Amino acid sequence: MNDKLLKYGITKANRPKIPATKRLDLTGEQGQQIIKSETKLVLRTHKETFKRLADM
């Protein structure tokens, strides 16, 4: 554990594993739209990272 956390008396809490309750159907036109919009978001968010990877 991090020394800074121990300094303030903070302990690590064990969190329960929460399983996914929903199934996401990515087939069909609606699924393609979800994939496209999420891809655009990732590319916009991590623009510099992808640029650096491309220049390697």
Number of domains the chain contains: 1
DSSP string, 6-55: HHTT--PPPPPP----------HHHHHHHHHHHHHHHHHHTHHHHHHHHT
pLDDT for the residue 38: 95
pTM of the model: 0.54
Residue 3 lies in a domain: no
Residue 12 lies in a domain: no
Residue 49 lies in a domain: yes
pLDDT for the residue 20: 86
23 vs 12, residue with greater confidence: 23
Q: Which domain holds residue 38?
A: 26-56
pLDDT, tens only, 18-41: 998 988 889 999 999 999 999 999
pLDDT for the residue 1: 57
d(CA 34, CA 41): 11
How many of the other CB atoms lie within 10 Å of CB of 47?
A: 10
Residue 51 lies in a domain: yes
